[in-house]
Amino acid sequence: MTSTTHARTTHSARTGTVTGAPRAGAQRTHVIVASPVGPLTIVADGDAIAALYMDAQRHAPGPEALGLPGDAADEPFATAARQLDAYFAGRLTEFDLPLALAGTDFQRKVWAGLRDIPYGQTVSYGELAARIGSPAASRAVGLANGRNPVAIVVPCHRVIGSDGSMTGYGGGLDRKRFLLALEQGSGA
């Protein structure tokens, strides 16, 4: 199942809403942009971002799921690249991109919960499970977190172990540390 939402990663509550499914017959396209954490593959489904993958990312799909090469000057790629540049420069704490998140109802509930974690802060898997109304589902939350298709924009890097330790991250723990340090103003 796919739904389109707007990602909000701010200190306030997530204000994005479900606005409907991507256009029927929309074709996936992708571009690769440079970033401080390595190349990022942005995948669009019509006019919405469907995925953002890091190189060598766990759970990344095969090349056929990325679609045809797109043009980085076209939307939604151009806006996504500008916002990512601003994020990495420390000038953006809120992404405002149309998203087409494909996943189970539970996964999308977890991903919505991720968007409610304030910039520069972290929560444990157990805390996130409680926040989404499933306090006994911390392991399931961890699995859904690991399947997040839109890294950075849907901030799965903000989830840590209950003891404060850095736990798994699809893009690798070094990248998770980098993103958290960037958001906490420690530089990277």
pLDDT tens, residue order, the chain (188 aa): 444 444 433 222 233 333 334 445 568 999 999 999 999 999 999 999 999 999 887 778 888 889 999 999 999 999 999 999 999 999 999 899 999 999 999 999 999 999 999 999 999 999 999 999 999 999 999 999 999 999 999 999 999 998 888 888 888 899 999 999 999 986 55
Query: What pLDDT does residue 187 have?
Result: 54
Query: What pLDDT does residue 62 have?
Result: 85
Instruction: Read off the pTM.
Output: 0.84
CA dist list (Å): 140 to 92, 121, 128, 144: 30, 21, 11, 6
**Annotated active-site residue in 112, 156, 160, 179:** 156
Q: Is 156 a catalytic residue?
A: yes
Please give the domain boundaries of the chain with CATH numbers for all domains. 2-98 (3.30.160.70), 104-183 (1.10.10.10)
